[in-house]
Amino acid sequence: MGSDVTEVSRSRIFGGYQCVYSHDSKELKCKAHFSIYFPPSYDEQADERLPVIYWLSGLTCTEQNFIQKSGAQRYASEHGVIIVGPDTSPRNCKIEGDSECWDFGVGAGFYVDATEPKWKEHYRMYSYVTKELPALIGSTFRIDLSRQSIMGHSMGGHGALICYLKNPGKYKSVSVFAPICNPSKCPWGQKAFKGYLGSDETTWEAYDACSLAKHYKGPINNILIDQGLSDEFLGKNQLLPDNFVVSCAESKIPIILRKHEGYDHSYFFISTFIGEHVAHHAKFLKC
């Protein structure tokens, strides 16, 4: 293991190991944590490198929520895939006001590279997720970076969609749970984008999945979205999945939007369908 990566924890689960590591991030300019699940088929002494799925979590989360609540390790073990989950924002950066609100600042990085002076030095989650983290894990562990997929929930669903659409061919597939699909048009996104990117709304389009889908040119597999119909944030127009379906239709992007009666925004919902999402990605990662 490289000297830049420190193991924080390791637990045996479903024949593999759920680990958490820390490192000094150059993009975030702070100590960052990420989780990584190694299935039983992972062998650090072998020549074979395994495919990886990235999980991006939602507002208020750390790298811990997904690994403790989703049950994804069972399915990653069955399919022989690695799952990596970064934190949702930089931490302990001592930026004035960064912990005043649950939906902005700490725990709410929104997977953008901030341009506003107060935030731009540390809040670079987009570059961290798409550049620094893959390079780090690819050089430290036996991971095949030519076989990557990405998934996420809520704010992390937004992050997964934009990472996929902004980088044609980088990820084999994408799937999301209750994503913030059109952040330029919803209260959560507008607050975050104005804070991180400034008041010029034309700059927001670079991080809005609906806008990106309209102009997307590149290879694509089915985008899978699961949405609970008892999700309180769906009713508050924070998620706007139907807007994304319309944008995808304009560009002939294949999309599967599954709506589920009775399911909410929680990890109870995620854990119910996470096995299908891992299987969705494994289908493309093993090609």
Domain span including residue 36: 6-285
Name the residue type at position 196. Y
Q: Active site residue: 149, 154, 173, 175, which one?
A: 154
**Exposure b/e, 202-222, CB count within 10 A at least 16 = b:** eebeebbbbbbbbebeeebbe
Determine, yes or no, domain membership for 176: yes
Q: What confidence category does residue 2 fall into, taking pLDDT thresholds of 50, 70 and 90?
A: low
pLDDT (tens digit per residue) in 12-59: 999 999 999 999 999 999 999 999 999 999 998 888 999 999 999 999
Euclidean distance between CA atoms 197 and 195, whole angstroms: 6
Q: Active site residue: 153, 265, 277, 280, which one?
A: 265
Determine, yes or no, domain membership for 233: yes
Determine, yes or no, domain membership for 1: no
Q: What confidence category does residue 1 fall into, taking pLDDT thresholds of 50, 70 and 90?
A: low
User: 269, 90, 123: which is closest to 196 by C-alpha?
Assistant: 123
Told to judge if 154 belongs to the known catalytic residues of this protein, a careful annotator would answer yes
Determine, yes or no, domain membership for 237: yes
Domains: count for the chain: 1
Q: Active site residue: 149, 175, 231, 281, which one?
A: 231
Beta-carbon count within 10 A of 78 CB: 16
Euclidean distance between CA atoms 199 and 49, whole angstroms: 44
Told to judge if 79 belongs to the known catalytic residues of this protein, a careful annotator would answer no
pLDDT (tens digit per residue) in 259-277: 999 999 999 999 999 999 9
Determine, yes or no, domain membership for 19: yes
Q: What confidence category does residue 64 fall into, taking pLDDT thresholds of 50, 70 and 90?
A: very high
Euclidean distance between CA atoms 6 and 23, whole angstroms: 6
Told to judge if 265 belongs to the known catalytic residues of this protein, a careful annotator would answer yes
User: Which whole-number Å values give the CA distances from 185 to 148, 207, 255, 265, 270, in the listed order?
Assistant: 30, 12, 21, 20, 25
Which CATH number do you get for residue 146?
A: 3.40.50.1820
Output the pLDDT for position 4. 86
pTM: 0.97
